[in-house]
């Protein structure tokens, strides 16, 4: 599922509001189901780039908004799959033409009625010693509980929009993720814990174990040497054909 979502990344760069500063978040991921990726996840965020390193899949995702490019790094396959935002937009258009009806049917099976969106405040919580506001977002059958630290802010002010770029899919399934991150974008603070359920038996909890606002080392943004480079745009469009 994640590979599909990353391959279908759209281009919505215009409107991103950038601010100075860096943020590094380390999470512990636990759960079960098709989208569960247990292990440590580290998220590096600066005003122009995001990198997510996932221990569970041994896959890193780097998005460079300045260059308009995304890289998916597979440490098992020793490959770097590069896609430009233009390539991603073309792939999304092709997927919508070919899979729109099928993805809409899948969306209804997995999510139910995605037009039903509800956001509720659920009191307070403490994660890693940080006082948090608990919020529940319900979209159809999917329920996501977040514990937000209002004293932390993302270097990319429109972080929710940036994350929606990473988790987009064709048809109504894409609408679910757009609505989810649209609602998250209206909230204040950084989620230190999330709990998602309601996707065909999936249930995943992500809990912060470390937070750093120190400058991110330049090496974090470097691509690994010796890996085979793959033209992701060409590969995706050939796959659609």
Q: Which helix (H) or strand (E) holds 179?
A: helix 171-185
pLDDT of amino acid 186? 75
Q: 27-41, 72-86, 91-105, 128-142: which has the minimum mean pLDDT?
A: 91-105
Q: How far is the CA of 152 from the CAs of 97, 148, 189, 205, 229, in angstroms? A: 40, 9, 5, 20, 36
Residues listed for the chain:
241
Would you say residue 82 has pLDDT above 70?
yes
134: confidence class by pLDDT, cuts 50, 70, 90: very high
Angstrom distance (rounded) from CA 123 to CA 132:
9
Q: How far apart are CA 136 and CA 44, in angstroms?
A: 25
Q: What is the DSSP letter of 35?
A: T
pLDDT digit string, tens, across residues 4-53:
333 333 333 333 444 458 999 999 999 876 555 778 999 999 988 999 99
- pLDDT higher than 90, residue 103: no
Residue 66 tokens, joined? 């300045």
Task: Give pLDDT, residue 117.
Answer: 79
Q: In the predicted model, is pLDDT for residue 208 greater than 80?
A: yes
User: Average pLDDT, whole number, for the chain?
Assistant: 79
Q: Is the dihedral of CA 131, 195, 162, 227 positive or negative?
A: positive
- Tally the domains of the chain: 1
Q: Does the pLDDT of residue 233 top 80, yes or no?
A: no
On the question of pLDDT at 241 being above 70, the answer is no
Residue 158 and residue 181 in contact, taking contact as beta carbons nearer than 8 Å: no
DSSP structural state of residue 224: P
User: And the tokens for 30?
Assistant: 């636990």
pTM for this one? Answer: 0.78
Alpha-carbon distance of 178 to 161, in angstroms, equals: 8
Q: Domain limits at 200? A: 2-240
Please give the pLDDT value at position 202: 80
Cα distances (Å, whole numbers) of residue 115 to 104, 173, 176, 186, 241: 13, 12, 9, 18, 32
Nearest 5°: the CA angle 26, 52, 212 is: 35
Pick the more confident residue, 126 or 186: 126
Number of Cβ atoms within 10 Å of the Cβ of 214: 8
CATH number at residue 179: 2.50.20.10
């Amino acid at each position: 599922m994640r590979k599909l979502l990353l391959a279908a990344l759209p281009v919505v760069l215009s409107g991103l509001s950038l601010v100075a500063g860096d943020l590094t978040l380390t999470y512990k991921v636990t759960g079960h189901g098709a989208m569960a990726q247990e292990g440590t996840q580290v998220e590096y965020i600066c005003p122009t780039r995001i990198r997510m390193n996932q221990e569970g899949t041994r896959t890193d995702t780097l998005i460079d908004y300045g260059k308009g490019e995304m890289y998916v790094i597979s440490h098992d396959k020793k490959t770097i799959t590069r896609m430009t935002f233009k390539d991603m937009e073309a792939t999304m258009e092709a997927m919508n033409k070919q899979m729109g009806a099928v993805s809409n049917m899948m969306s209804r099976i997995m999510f139910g009625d995605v037009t039903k969106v509800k956001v509720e405040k659920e009191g307070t919580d403490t994660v890693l010693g940080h006082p948090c506001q608990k919020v529940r977002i319900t979209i159809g059958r999917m329920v996501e509980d977040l514990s937000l630290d209002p004293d932390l802010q993302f270097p990319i002010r429109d972080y929710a929009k940036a994350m929606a770029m990473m988790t987009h899919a064709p048809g109504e399934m894409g609408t679910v993720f757009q609505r989810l991150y649209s609602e998250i974008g209206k909230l204040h603070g950084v989620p230190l814990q999330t709990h998602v359920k309601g996707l065909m038996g999936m249930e995943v909890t992500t809990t912060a174990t470390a937070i750093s606002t120190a400058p991110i080392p330049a090496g974090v943004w470097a691509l690994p040497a010796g890996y085979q480079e793959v033209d992701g745009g060409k590969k995706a469009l050939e796959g659609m054909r």
